[in-house]
Structure 1
Amino acid sequence: MHSFLTGLTLLVMGLVVIVLIRGLFNMAKGGSGSTSNKLMQARVVLQAVAIALIMLTLWITGGGRPS
């Protein structure tokens, strides 16, 4: 179970990076402010999901404490 959560967490973190890079490119080329806003909102939601998954993984695995 924890390997699934770890993989899912890594996937969401990768999506955060992709959305961040897309937002930076949109801003650099002078793209639409509406698109930048939607990308920023998506990034914030993905970061919240990533943090929740990290916390859940740590809780399930015992947070690195010896068993």
Structure 2
Amino acid sequence: MTTFLAIVLVILVALVVYSLVRGIVAFLKSTKMDLERDDAEGASEMQLMQNKMMFARIKYQALAVVVVAILLAIAN
């Protein structure tokens, strides 16, 4: 069981890093024009991608914390 959870933890950490990198890339692709545009037009494509990747990163981090908590509970 601990081996399985360790593998799941590694996969979740990889997903956290992947979503973090994609969010940073989307942030870097945001142009000055995107930042200065009128808010009434709504969010730009890169801003939506940043939000999507931030939510994904938080979700994967929460799952990783749950896996670590389970591993600690099993260890005791």
When normalised by structure 1's length, the TM-score is 0.86
Task: Determine if contact 2:29/2:46 at 8 Å carries over to the other structure.
Answer: no
**Match for 1:28: what amino acid?**
L
Relative contact order: is structure 1 or structure 2 higher (C-alpha 8 Å, sep ≥ 6)? 2
Partner of 1:40: 54
**Match for 2:24: what amino acid?**
L
- Runs of 4+ that moved beyond 6 A: none
Cα displacement string for residues 5-54 of structure 1 (whole angstroms, at most 9, x for unaligned residues): 01101110111001000100110111611111111011111100000001
Distance 2:22 2:3 in 1: 29
Cα root mean square deviation, aligned: 1.0
Distance 2:4 2:15 in 1: 17
Percent identity reads 32
Distance 1:58 1:48 in 2: 15
Matching of residues 19-30 of structure 1 within 5 Å: 19-30=19-30
**Is there any run of 5+ residues in structure 2 with no aligned partner, and where?**
31-44
**Is there any run of 5+ residues in structure 1 with no aligned partner, and where?**
63-67
When normalised by structure 2's length, the TM-score is 0.76
Give the structure with the higher percent helix: 2
